Amino acid sequence: MALTNSQYDQIMRIYQDRQRHRDHILREHADEVYSKIPAFQEIDDDIREASMEELRLRLSKTTPSEGSSLHDRIEALRQKRIKLLVANGYSQDYLNPPYVCPDCKDTGYIENEHCHCFKQEAINLIYHQSNLTDVLSRENFQNFKLEYYDNTQIDTKAGITARQNAEIAFKTSWDFCKDFKEQGGNLCIYGGTGTGKTFLTHCITNQLLKQGFSVIYFTAFQLFDIFQKATFHKNRDAQEDYENIFSCDLLIIDDLGTEFSNSFTNSQLFLCLNERLLRGKSVVISTNLGVGEIANVYGERIISRISSEYKLIKLFGDDIRTKKINNR
């Protein structure tokens, strides 16, 4: 995600806090072990002394046999260290750094590139500052209300009521999140205005963020605005957002069809959906458009991708927003 200097500094303070907390825990553990097992300090001193000697030999380009002998001694001391820990009731990794993210060792970087945990922190921060966090605290699977769907209104083609259909939509979305790590996949949630499509995308967003996946949520207007700025204006922030659109675990495109559609938006949508398919990345789309309308607006290439690669979820019924207002 594109970050301001202030946002970047705020995230780096998170990593600094993690490092301080980690060092504090390590010191406490070490003090405890040294106090309980006096011989442990001596072993650590021997390892430290042997490691310094090994480094000196490397720098002086001493014969390999001398360095190998020293390396074996260090390894033997480390094994003795582990056995002593376990014999005294500790786990063998008790004195290892307790990293929140072992991949980057809580630095936020891997070989000068942002770690996946940094990207997730950026997403969390931007969601929080855009008030989407507040929305997700209200609109989630726990607060999905089936009673808003009429149990007498029937889809004659499917032969089920609006409430029965909503139950299927809920289960399909929940299973999508539950199986996301192993299966990924794509969803297209469609139906009339006020039938709960955006609410369901918020449920999915909230659940997968809690599971630790990187989720980027855009309305269709926001998405195409980024494409336009990155393509025509070479806007730096938009270009960074553009890259994240293709690399995040899940991209959610809400209200597809509300933007002004033209040849540029159609080509960019196809590029986005196709590229994410090629990368094995998931997409969730919500739209007021039916399947036939999607084909008319965006063309056969896009509807072909959606029909073959996406699980379709239809929602129907009365406008829930109107019901909520009338029930106040």
The answer to whether residue 115 is domain-embedded is no
Is 113 inside any structural domain? no
Burial class (CB in 10 A: 0-12, 13-18, 19+), 224: buried
For strand 109-110 and strand 215-219, is the pairing parallel, antiparallel, or unpaired? unpaired
Whether residues 152 and 253 fall in one domain: yes
Q: What is the spatial distance between Cα 82 and Cα 288, in angstroms, rounded to a whole number? A: 61
Same domain, 186 and 304: yes
Does residue 124 form part of some domain?
Answer: no
H-type helices in 211-279, by residue range? 220-228, 236-247, 263-278
Shared domain for 14 and 68, answered yes or no, is: yes
| Residue-wise pLDDT tens digits, 247-292 | 888 999 999 999 988 999 999 999 999 999 999 999 999 999 999 9
Residue 295 has phi, psi (to 5 degrees) of: -65, -40
Q: Establish if 151 belongs to a structural domain.
A: yes
Asked if residue 270 and residue 195 are part of one domain, the reply reads yes
Note the residue count of the chain.
328
282, 251 Cβ separation under 8 angstroms = yes
3-state secondary structure of 75: helix
Which SS3 state, helix, strand or coil, does residue 310 take?
Answer: coil
pLDDT in tens, 59-98: 776 655 565 777 888 889 889 999 999 999 999 999 999 9
Q: What helix, strand, coil percent values describe the chain, rounded to 5?
A: 65, 10, 25
| pLDDT digits (tens), the chain, 328 positions | 557 677 889 899 999 999 999 999 999 999 999 999 988 988 988 888 888 888 887 777 665 556 577 788 888 988 999 999 999 999 999 999 999 999 999 999 999 999 999 988 888 887 776 557 788 889 999 999 999 999 999 999 989 999 999 999 999 999 999 999 999 999 999 999 999 999 999 999 999 988 878 888 999 999 999 999 888 877 766 777 788 888 888 999 999 999 988 999 999 999 999 999 999 999 999 999 999 999 999 999 999 999 999 999 999 999 998 888 777 6
Residue from 309, 283, 308, 145 nearest 217 by CA: 283
Cα separation, 15 vs 10, in Å, equals 9
Q: What percent of the chain has pLDDT over 90?
A: 64
Q: Are residues 273 and 218 in the same domain?
A: yes
Last residue of a domain, one of 91, 107, 123: 107
Q: Quote the longest CA-to-CA distance of the chain.
A: 86
Q: How many domains does the chain have?
A: 2
CB 117 within 8 A of CB 101: yes
In terms of DSSP H, where are the helices of the chain?
A: 5-36, 38-59, 64-87, 116-129, 132-138, 162-178, 180-183, 197-210, 220-228, 236-247, 263-278, 291-298, 300-309, 320-326
The domain containing residue 50 runs over which residues?
A: 5-107
The DSSP bridge pattern shows strands 160-161 and 154-155 to be antiparallel
End residue of a domain, out of 72, 107, 142: 107
Residue with tokens 């004195």: 95
CA separation, residue 105 to residues 24, 101, 116 (Å) = 15, 6, 12
User: Other CB atoms closer than 10 Å to residue 290's CB: what's the count?
Assistant: 14
Amino acid letter, residue 311:
K
CATH number reported for the structural domain that contains residue 225 in this entry: 3.40.50.300
Closest CA to 202 of 282, 256, 140: 140
8 A C-beta contact, residue 205 and residue 252? yes
DSSP 83-121: HHHHHTT--TTTTS---S-TTTTTSSEETTEE-HHHHHH
Q: Share the mean pLDDT of the chain.
A: 89
Cα–Cα distance measured from residue 127 to residue 237, given in angstroms and rounded to the nearest whole number: 16
What gap in Å lies between CA 285 and CA 221, rounded to an integer? 13
Whether residue 80 sits in one domain with residue 226: no
